[in-house]
Structure 1
Amino acid sequence: MERLPKIALPVMFIAVLIIVLIFKSSVTIGPGEGGVLFEQFGEGIVTDKTYSEGLHIIAPWNSMIIRIVRQQSISDEMNVLSVNGLEVKVNGTIWYEPEYDNLGKLIKTKGEDYEQELLDPAVNAAARSVVGRYTPEQLYSSKRDVIEQEILEEVTLLLKDQYLTVKRVLVEDVKLPVTIKNAIEGKLKQEQESLEYEFRLVTAKKEAEKVTIEAQGKADANKILSASLTDKILQDKGIEATIKLSESPNSKVIVIGSGDSGLPLILGNQ
């Protein structure tokens, strides 16, 4: 067996070392992610540059902190108090994203777990502040969209200049104690039944007014017609009707004298 040249071992060692260095120095950032460089022998987190998607070569003694920079969401259940001190459970979802260009500043000031350090406390504080303005009835029924908007505004104010942006707040469910919930549902049911009853009364009243107006119209029309029918007009109408009847081929007309009203008497018929 031939011995390897003396130069072979150092070359192999250097080759292996280069491969290890390349492996340690190459960093791949995936879709929707951003990277922040941590300089081991420098100032630590680099705050003026965010690395984009793709392959990057860095010094082997440095490291890359990779975080999602696209819009993402978290859901949580919070225990808050209403305006009258009643404990309410609010289930909500928050859509947020870190500021891409300031990802290094965000991580440097709040750490890699900035959701727990920054976002969660801000959302909880905003939810307590907003929900504390409303009664259980308002929270349960018609104020959901208003509450969402107000929480969003509160969170935005709390996170101002914190390099984290909240895009949307969704209140998915408001849970009240069973006794309070049943009381509210009973009250809402009574109000609905009352509204339906009032609607039926209004409808019946309008229908009665319609019938009264129609009857009054007919009475006025008959009154006007009666006032316009004189004896002379009635006689003329009677004569016209008599002539038409006498012209009928199916009857034989014999006129004898006149009736009490001055109209001819018609006798004979086939």
Structure 2
Amino acid sequence: MIIIIVGIVLLLTAYNLKKVNSPLSERAGMIRVIGIVVIIFGILSKCVVQVDAGKVGVQSIFGNVKKETLNSGLNFVNPLADIKELDLKTQNYTMSGVHDEGSKAGDDAIKVLSADGLEVTIDLTVLFRIVSAKAPDIYKQIGLNYVDVIVRPLSRTRIRDISANYDAIALYSTKRDEFQTRIFNSIEKDFKDRGLVLEQLLVRNIALPESVKKTIESKINAEQDAQKMQFVLQKEKQEAERKRVEAQGIADYQRIITSTLTDKQLQYEQIKAQKDLAASPNTKIVIMGNSKGSQVLLNAN
């Protein structure tokens, strides 16, 4: 548009030079030609528009938004059309209580009330993108600030509505995945109706009131102590069972030996043991036999 304005200024200058008696009046024709060339160049440049990769162009002529979109690359358009680019790439919007971590500075976490009346703080990240064919409708009905108009308020509202169905401890522990799935399904439908695709929803953190956190920690510690005691008792029972089996085995062994030994077998074992003793280098004389029978003296030397 600036180039066209420059061309028009040159044409007006050439027209005025012809009307006045000036040394430059003889160059009015050349200035007029330059002005016409500049205007033509400006019009042609307005007819060719480049749309960056990953974006889509939306055309509006005097406030009337056209349904046709412009793909990435060079496009020929009406020189009077105003072109706006919308990003088609995946975008993320984070609402966090950590300073400078979210899309807005400061504490932007979502504070909700659970079913048991406790205030729970939730950090959330929304991953979404624009449907290319719906870009003209988004621009016409919502504008370029669709994140603040649609993404942020819808996400916060749905989370508050759904969290009211869960107790605080359930949100923090057992029902967290179910809670995230319900939020995703709800927001996905709202986004789809407005030309957005919800790719993923991440519940990054759920913070409970300090009193509830202490209660949970006490419960966890009690459960761990109970599990430890069960382990100790189980170990003691196993050790008692082992000793019982060992004692039973010894008793069975003694019973079997007692019922099968004879006097001759005992005498044979005695002679065998004394013979082994006589073979020892430290043994000098071994007396074999007993007071009732004959005795034999063995000299190891």
Normalising by structure 1, what TM-score?
Answer: 0.81
- 1:118 and 2:150 equivalent? yes
How many angstroms does 1:92 deviate by? 0.7
Aligned position for 1:45: 65
Please point out which of 241, 259, 266 is paired with 2:290: 259
Deviations 1:216-247 (A, max 9, x none): 33333333333333333222323333455556
- C-alpha deviations, 1:42-92, integer Å up to 9, x for none? xx2223x33222233322211112111111100122121111121211111
Q: How well do the aligned residues superpose, as a CA RMSD in angstroms?
A: 3.1
**Partner of residue 226, structure 2:** 194
Give 1:162-181 correspondences, 5 Å limit. 162-181=194-213
Q: What is the rounded CA distance, in whole Å, between the counterparts of 1:249 and 1:199 in structure 2?
A: 54
In structure 1, the gaps of 5 or more residues are: none
- In the TM superposition, what are the counterparts of 1:99-248 in structure 2 within 5 Å? 99-245=131-277
Greater relative contact order (CA < 8 Å, ≥ 6 in sequence): 1
- Closer, same or farther: CA 173–249 of 1 in aligned 2, 3 Å: closer
- Return closer, same or farther for 1:175/1:229 CA change in 2, 3 Å cut-off: same
Q: Residues 246 and 95 of structure 1: is their aligned pair in 2 closer, same or farther, counting only changes over 3 Å?
A: same
| Residue in 1 that maps onto 2:17 | none
Kept in 2, the 8 Å contact 1:80–1:131? The answer is yes
Describe the shift of the 1:14–1:187 C-alpha distance in structure 2 as closer, same or farther (beyond 3 A).
same
After superposition, the Cα gap between the structure-2 partners of 1:211 and 1:20, relative to the gap in structure 1 and judged at 3 Å, is farther
Counterpart check, 1:65 vs 2:84: yes
Letter in 2 for 1:51: L
- Report the residue type matching 1:191 in the other structure: E
User: Aligned partners of 2:300, 2:140: CA distance in 1, in Å?
Assistant: 119
- Structure 2 distance, partners of 1:263, 1:127, is 105
Q: TM-score, normalised by structure 2?
A: 0.74
Maintained 8 Å contact 2:279/2:300: no
The answer to whether the aligner puts 1:87 opposite 2:107 as a matched pair is: no
For the pair 1:10 / 2:32, whether they are aligned, the reply is yes
- 1:17, CA displacement in angstroms? 1.4
Report the 3-state secondary structure (helix = DSSP H, G, I; strand = E; otherwise coil) of the residue aligned with 1:50: strand
Aligned counterpart in structure 2 of residue 20 of structure 1, from 5, 30, 42: 42
Q: What whole-Å deviation, never above 9, does each CA across 1:99-118 have from its counterpart, x for those lacking one?
A: 22332233334433322333
